[in-house]
Structure 1
Amino acid sequence: MIMFSDEEWAECSRGLNDLGLRVGQIISTLSSEVDVTPHSITHRVKDKHSAARKIAKKRETNPTYGLFSLTDVLGIRVITYFSDEVDHIATALSREFVVDELNSIDKRKSLAADRFGYMSLHYVLGLSPARATMPEYRQHADVSFEVQIRSVLQHAWAEVEHDLGYKSVGDVPTIHRRQFSRLAGTLELVDEQFCALRSELGTPRTLNGPSDEVALMDESISSESLAAYAERSTLLQFNERFARIHAVELGPFEPAALNRLVVNLNLLGVRSVADLEHLLVSHFESLYRLMEARYLLARDRGESPAVTVTTPLLYLLLFKIADMGEPEGRSAFEKIWKASSYDEYMRSVFSAMKGVRRV
């Protein structure tokens, strides 16, 4: 039974979809500021019948509970890739919005140690006084809304649990409780291991001596091995020479650039760090000529060409393509650059190679 009028519902829900879009954009910006890229940010406005059911349930213990007591007519869900990112986003939200501590709950902490279930952080928020005075937010100055933050795996558990129809441990038949508990524990462990793996992959690798450098040469091409190679190798000598002669400071490698290089080097058959080293040594002087010529040309045009420690490897791809010859090289070039300027680039490569003795 619906315990409020259509007019009251219209007043309660007016403009909430637009508010959800705006708050979602704010959360996206805040996420970037704390170096988090969410899997998704979505919102929904509770429908009238769901609101009525919740009010009826609340009135069992609180007879005065009504439509305007609801704090989640507007609900926003933020899904992160890693569980520790939940707290990063929560901290950012607490700085930007007013947190209703009484109605907010961290369901991750509400479970006893021997209980199962994957929960999320539920924040009930309101607009800050400064934002509430802005024209586009003024009508929502007193509105509360709920933000649920959980990791992808936490979300997966919640969705499966919901689909199975069990709301609490007491609902689960005794025969299946142990199985539920094992599954929840496994997902929690996987979540922790993903966080640990991300941390390890993000830690710069150090080469502590000649034996480490020899071992590196045997490794397959990956973002990690390329980053290590750029720090102590023939590539480092190349970059130091270029930076010294042209008085430029080379930018650091970018993860996205490394990822593309891994894909493209493998496409061209450069499978190991040793393969890459051999290719660079073979074309060292020619590569330098080409990179220098294009750098000076761009500078003469009034441009400020960006050069990073991996820039030489981008040009080195062209020399590998030149070594492949026609038509294999042309095909590889078009796969990598999706362009029809193969002939122009090959002329530049062969010009740079002219008169240079191959190692």
Structure 2
Amino acid sequence: MLPKTKNIILKEYDQKSALYAAYGQKLSELVQELLNDSKVAFHSVSFRKKERLSLSNKLNKPGATYERLSDITDICGLRVITYFEDDVKKVSKIFSSELEIDEANSSDKSESLDPDRFGYLSVHFVVSNGQERNKLTEYKRFDGIKAEIQVRSILQHAWAEIEHDLGYKSRDGIPKTVRRRFSRLAGLLELADQEFRTIREELTSYSSEVLGSIKRAPADVDLNAISLRALVDSNELVKRIDQAIADAGNCVIDEIDTDDFGKEAARLEFFGMTTIDDVTNALSTNEASIVEFARLWLTRNDDQSGGSFSPGICLFYLSYTLALATHNTETLQDYVSIFIGNAGQMDVNKITSELQSTYLKMS
């Protein structure tokens, strides 16, 4: 490349550097919106702008034939990392329908992967906004700017990062014995990707079938986060006790918190429960005690309580009731120390004492 042409390109870069950075940020936000709207789970969306020195080195490479800055399509780069390999194709379809794709400079390099080739390769898109989006006020200034987007799964990303850290991007640059190790590892990662997809599908299938299993034979349904949520969603006993607790504490039942069911399952397992039938039997047997203890606990400071909680709050108070019903201070302390986060020994003793004092009022 002629020094004059290089200087022209670098000068244009200096003038438009901030614009490319702004486009990267805007495109990153757009991509996240598109993925969220399509309900495609993703690990991360990140962007970077090529630094001036990196651009200068690129222009110095033999065979560089760029005439202007717009000929260089990776000044602005995004990386989309999905959790699963099959989501890479979903993301690719979204980009194809929502962005203008420069087909000549885009590629799915996994299609050219040799059978014995180690490593994973991303899907690469070179994109621009397209005519319709460029008509919008917030996108007008980015007309004519292109960006490169890499899409890969999180396991593919892990491979690429480690490969980069090892400093070997060419299979010809390393000994055959090491190449064989890379090949074996690539196969393991491919199997891992497939197994994760299978696990996801099995969990989805289990979630759709577990409610029917609970209705038919609750004694055969293992206690876990998924089965417990299905119980809370559908069981009239759970809803009745929840509402009684809400009324007693002047509270409201809010949206469901999906993160809590794993914790609630662990709480109930502490008392030896292993099936959904164990849970419903315990709720039925202790219904009056659960509601009364919850009322006393929520109003123990002589206030009117208030606030909100997620459906299934009766499971939380069931655990307290069971722990207190043992009349065993050690068991209660064990329960509090395990399930009350960041509680030191003084806090455990204090909470245990307060729980016991409240429980005694029930008598």
TM range (shorter): 0.7 to 0.9
Residue 20 of structure 2 corresponds to residue 21 of structure 1 = no
CA contact (8 A) 1:45 1:75 kept: yes
Q: Is the 8 A contact 1:106 1:121 kept in 2?
A: yes
Give runs of aligned pairs for residues 214-233 of structure 1, distance below 5 A: 214-216=219-221, 219=222, 221-227=223-229
1:195–1:142: structure 2 CA closer, same or farther, 3 Å change rule?
A: same
Which residue is 1:39 aligned to?
43
Shift of 1:27: 2.0
Shift of 1:149: 1.2
Q: How much does 1:305 deviate?
A: 7.1
Residue 50 of structure 1 corresponds to which residue in structure 2?
Answer: 54
TM-aligned CA deviation for residue 242 of structure 1: 7.0
Q: Distance in 2 between matches of 1:278 and 1:242?
A: 13
Which residue is 2:187 aligned to?
185
Q: 1:227 to 1:292 in 2, by over 3 A?
A: same
Cα distance between partner residues in 1 of 2:81 and 2:359: 47
Kindly state the Cα deviation for residue 263 of structure 1 after the two structures are TM-superposed.
4.2
Change (3 A) 1:143 1:10: same
Asked if the contact 1:318/1:349 (under 8 Å) is kept, the reply is no
- Cα deviation, 1:177-220, whole Å, max 9, x if unaligned, reads 2222111111011011111111212222446599954333xx4x
Aligned ranges for residues 261-280 of structure 1 at < 5 Å?
A: 261-266=264-269, 269=271, 271-273=273-275, 276-280=279-283
Q: 2:261 — aligned with what?
A: 258
Check 1:176–1:323 CA distance in 2 against 1; reply closer, same or farther (3 A cut).
Answer: same
1:87 to 1:68, Cα distance in 2 relative to 1, 3 A:
same
Q: Kindly state the Cα deviation for residue 156 of structure 1 after the two structures are TM-superposed.
A: 1.0
What secondary structure, in the 3-state scheme, does the structure 1 residue paired with 2:150 have?
strand
SS in structure 2 of the partner of residue 202 of structure 1: helix
Q: Is 1:202–2:207 an aligned residue pair?
A: no
Matched, 1:111 2:113: yes
Instruction: Tell me the alpha carbon deviations over residues 263-288 of structure 1, each in whole angstroms, 9 at most, x when there is no partner.
Output: 4445x545523653453233134446
Going from structure 1 to structure 2, the CA distance change for 1:198 and 1:252 (only over 3 Å counts) comes to farther
Aligned equivalent of 2:301: none
Structure 2 partner of 1:238: 237
Q: Is residue 9 from structure 1 mapped to residue 13 from structure 2 by the alignment?
A: yes
Query: Partners of 1:252 and 1:277 in 2: how far apart?
Result: 22
CA deviation after TM superposition for structure 1 residue 244, in Å = 12
Match of 1:357 in 2: none
CA distance 1:321–1:99, shift in 2 (3 Å): farther
Q: How does 1:120-135 map to 2 (within 5 A)?
A: 120-135=122-137
> In structure 2, do the counterparts of structure 1 residues 9 and 253 end up closer, same or farther at CA, with 3 Å as the change threshold?
closer
Match of 1:332 in 2: 336
Tell me if structure 1 keeps the 8 A contact 2:46–2:78: yes
Percent identical pairs in the alignment equals 29
Equivalent residue of 1:113, what SS?
coil
Instruction: Evaluate the alpha carbon distance shift between residue 324 and residue 135 of structure 1 in structure 2; reply closer, same or farther with a 3 A threshold.
Output: farther
Distance apart, 1:341 and its partner CA: 9.5
Contact 1:103 1:124 (C-alpha < 8 Å) held by counterparts: yes
Change (3 A) 1:8 1:328: same
Per the alignment, do residues 255 and 182 of structure 1 end up closer, same or farther by CA in structure 2, a change over 3 Å counting? same
- Alpha-carbon distance between aligned partners in 2 of 1:76 and 1:174, rounded to the nearest angstrom: 34
Question: For residues 87 and 65 of structure 1, what CA distance do their matches in structure 2 show?
Answer: 34
* Residue number in structure 2 paired with 1:70: 72
TM-score w.r.t. the length of structure 1 is 0.74
**C-alpha distance 64-21 of structure 1, shift in aligned 2 (>3 A):** closer
What runs of 5+ residues in structure 2 fail to find an aligned partner?
245-252, 298-303
TM score, norm. by length of structure 2: 0.73
By how many angstroms is 1:145 displaced? 0.5
Q: Residues 164 and 241 (structure 1 numbering): CA distance in 2 closer, same or farther, change over 3 Å?
A: closer
Q: Is the 8 A contact 1:270 1:276 kept in 2?
A: no
Q: Which moved more, 1:252-261 or 1:43-52?
A: 252-261
Mapped contact 1:24–1:41 kept (Cα < 8 A) = yes
Question: Relative to structure 1, is the Cα distance of residues 158 and 243 closer, same or farther in structure 2, using a 3 angstrom cutoff?
Answer: closer
| Residues 264, 336 of structure 1: 8 Å contact kept | no
Contact 1:99 1:124 (8 Å CA) reproduced = yes
Q: What is the alpha-carbon root mean square deviation over aligned residues?
A: 4.1
CA offset at residue 318 of structure 1?
A: 3.9
Residue in 1 that maps onto 2:250: none
Contact conserved, 2:336 with 2:352, CA < 8 A, in 1? Answer: no
**Structure 1 residues 95 and 323, CA, compared in 2 at 3 Å: closer, same or farther?**
farther
Q: Which structure has greater helix proportion?
A: 2
Residue 147 in 1 paired to residue 149 in 2?
Answer: yes
Q: Runs of 5+ in structure 1 lacking a partner?
A: 295-300, 355-359
